[in-house]
Chain A
């Protein structure tokens, strides 16, 4: 227990680092968090009043839970989920009878990962799903098979988050099935959850299958050290693979490759890549610490370098999180936007800004972060045409045709986000006072009202 406490303290210190670097602010980070926050407010209705003319919204089951949390509540939920995940990884490895030393090393590696920080600070609900699944796996790993019944329910809830979660549940259960003790219940659960997930997803498949979709959630590389958003540290990859190779756990390596392959398609599965790598890394670290080295001088240098590398990844990611939106200036801009627009206003901006406008200011946007709808492509084309336009009549005609009342421009839009530099294309056209009125401009955030004809 003392070792678990140490790991938890390390996790809390790491979380604290972000707070220190960022200045004390108890809000979730990233546009995705705010898109979910907005989606959670209308999770029950299925209508989106904040997307102009939209019938379909992006909802996930966690949004049903998230609707009961305020902005600060969501922040706390992320932190609690991240810390709970540490305890659950510890409990799961303990229940599976993993060597105590490997157990605490693996839990430590789980905690000292950029993905742990991402789970805590980026409130996209994945943390909640991961906690549910880890808890369910822990229940399945109990000696008494009857604990698998509530586990099935939890797996089902997690599977509704997306079909990919079902895939991960199935893979996790298959890993358990290699142990004869768990084989019967694991196979039974795979079938049970498969049937349940199919029924639950049938509804979505029927309704959404034909709909064009837009998704602007930014991910980057899955290696955090290569600038990935909440990816995995490269040193953990080296350590994990080395661990499995040394122990000749080829089966684990196969699962690792499958997980990595799937994680390339669905990012939320990266947590399970982390879990497998943390286990392999635990084995490797234990081996490196206890084996008799042929070149003794290299032992401590290698371990020290690995330790530095493993700590380096989350610290570098903490620095990245400290610069992530929303910063106080954006909150101020949203407050101003809320004051200067009405509930009927329709705002043209980027999808990322759209998420903040919906989540913080509660105003309608043309293009949200994630959008399902017949007119998805038309919205995208219209937005891109306007941004690139040098032709005022063409741009203003499009804006008026889509009933846009305001245009919101942020600093990142004029530094590569939309235009390479200020006063390019449509940003230049905004100067035309006969069509647009600048109603607010502070810290690089500007709001322009479209004059009525």
Chain B
């Protein structure tokens, strides 16, 4: 079968699967999606991103790069808004499939291995499950980083493509610094191995480092000045940061990036690091080591770090699997090579596709149970425009986007003074059994309603608000979401 046709078929299968899952619900998943919806709406209305946000933290300055929101907004002029939010993230998703195919081809020059690698990329479980119905910048960052890797591997011919992608990624997200760390680790490995970087490589590495640093300092200068080195951890409250790896287990992580590429990737690392000199593989190993280190130091969000790590392991899989295929080709089993390849194709796809679909089904099911749309509509109809809602950080963007009400905190803590105190106030308000303690926190932030979703309850380990009180804090709405109204005002006697 023609290579291009096979690839096109794979792209259509991956896109189709993604869209089938995305079409299960009208609403999008994930808190971040609603942040981007608000940004895109604002760009469509005014042409400018929502920089001064009156609803977040009771009024704050948004410092995140608006490039992704402009990109989405551009699509909404060609497509209906709802369709754009559903389709565009999935188009980015299949872009990753195509790029993976070409990287694998560059490494192995074998169409079967390249096809298998592309298929594994298309069904990389964590990337599939966290981008099929989510409007998230990570959806485009992963394929762009893969594209950078593709261009870098043949930098002699692709300087312009590399530079343009580097600029685009730098404007989109601070994760360009992860790529830079990878480049530096690669340069170190090459040096240790006694190999040499070409003049072009040296120049491109220097340019990449300088441009990435420069662009991030221009975009986030105020963040660095206010939070200093803490900006690396995005000013997250200590309580959130210390729970960073609380639910993390190695086995679960392997499941989420798929065991097959993980094991084959590890094998490639063992085989090539300090043994066989292949700069393309050393480059991928450098990336993998840098991402693992950044994950270990909690410098990248867990989900994003696993996406990137999974991507690199899938690309390393190509080399490792190709090596195995060659071994078989040279052995007595060569007569059965086709059958052998067919068996592994089915086996790999079952594990990867199975894991991806399982995670995706979990997301869909959770969303079906939640049915937050009605709750948010109720909140909008039964509260006043000036009312403030207390919720955990995972619910706030939805409340702001769909109910149009201000919240006390959300998941973006950049440039928020006293983030620890605010987070602590939320935790006390949602988990304390003492109404005076809760009231004090609610009064402090002028809160009128408390919104508790199923996800929040699981996160905080509560089944309902422990301080529920018919007079002061009655439950006014209950489905899978609970909404409480704060009706009292605490006063100091004397």
Contacts and interface: CB of A to CB of B under 8 A. Distances in A.
B159 interface: yes
Interface stretch (A27-35, A291-299, A439-447): A291-299
Interface in B199-251: 199-200, 203-204, 206-207, 209-211, 213-214, 217, 221, 224-229, 231
B418 interface: yes
Contact of B231 (A226, A234, A312): A226
A223 B231 CA distance: 13
A320 interface: yes
B224 A227 contact: yes
B299 interface: no
Given A226-B231, A416-B417, A238 B210 contact: yes
A408 B200 CA distance: 61
Q: Interface on chain A toward B: helix, strand, loop, or mixed SS?
A: helix
A305 interface: yes
A420 B213 CA distance: 33
A295 B213 contact: no
Contacts of A293: 199, 203
Interface string B412-438: 000001100100000000000000000
A309 interface: yes
B225 A221 contact: no
Contacts of A305: 207, 210-211, 214
A299 B214 CA distance: 16
A301 interface: yes
A416 B418 contact: yes
Contact of B203 (A227, A234, A298, A308): A298
Contact of B209 (A238, A316, A416): A238
A8 interface: no
Interface in B162-218: 163, 198-200, 203-204, 206-207, 209-211, 213-214, 217
Looking at B224, B231, B421, which has the most chain A CB atoms within 10 Å of its CB? B224
Given A294-B199, A297-B159, A309 B229 contact: no
Contact of B228 (A226, A242, A295, A299): A226
A316 B222 CA distance: 10
Given A238-B210, A294-B203, A227 B159 contact: no
B35 to A, nearest CB: 26
B424 to A, nearest CB: 10
What band does the interface of chain B fall in when counting residues whose beta carbon is under 8 Å from A?
20 to 34
B217 A302 contact: no
Nearest to A302: B207
Nearest to A284: B206
Contacts of B417: 415-416
Contacts of A226: 224, 228-229, 231
Nearest to B444: A421
B109 to A, nearest CB: 26
Contacts of B418: 416, 420
Contacts of A297: 159
A221 B421 contact: no
A73 interface: no
A230 B417 CA distance: 23
A235 interface: yes
Contacts of A262: none
Contacts, number: 71
A298 B208 CA distance: 10
Nearest to A229: B228
Contact of A312 (B199, B203, B217): B217
A306 B221 CA distance: 16
Interface in A299-335: 299, 301-302, 305-306, 308-309, 312, 316, 320
Contacts of B217: 225, 234, 309, 312
Interface in B131-165: 159, 163
Interface in B52-81: none
Looking at B203, B211, B421, which has the most chain A CB atoms within 10 Å of its CB? B203
A298 B207 contact: yes
Contacts of B199: 293-294
Nearest to B225: A227
A301 B213 contact: no
A228 interface: yes
A297 B225 CA distance: 33
Contact of A301 (B200, B207, B226, B228): B207
A320 B225 contact: yes
B225 A295 contact: no
A302 B206 contact: yes
A227 B229 contact: yes
B207 to A, nearest CB: 5
Interface of B: 159, 163, 198-200, 203-204, 206-207, 209-211, 213-214, 217, 221, 224-229, 231, 417-418, 421
18 contacts: A223-B229, A225-B217, A225-B221, A226-B224, A227-B224, A227-B226, A227-B228, A227-B229, A295-B200, A295-B204, A297-B159, A299-B203, A301-B211, A302-B210, A308-B214, A309-B217, A312-B217, A316-B221
Given A298-B159, A416-B418, 4 more contacts: A227-B227, A294-B198, A309-B217, A420-B421
Interface of A: 220-221, 223, 225-228, 234-235, 238, 242, 293-295, 297-299, 301-302, 305-306, 308-309, 312, 316, 320, 415-416, 420
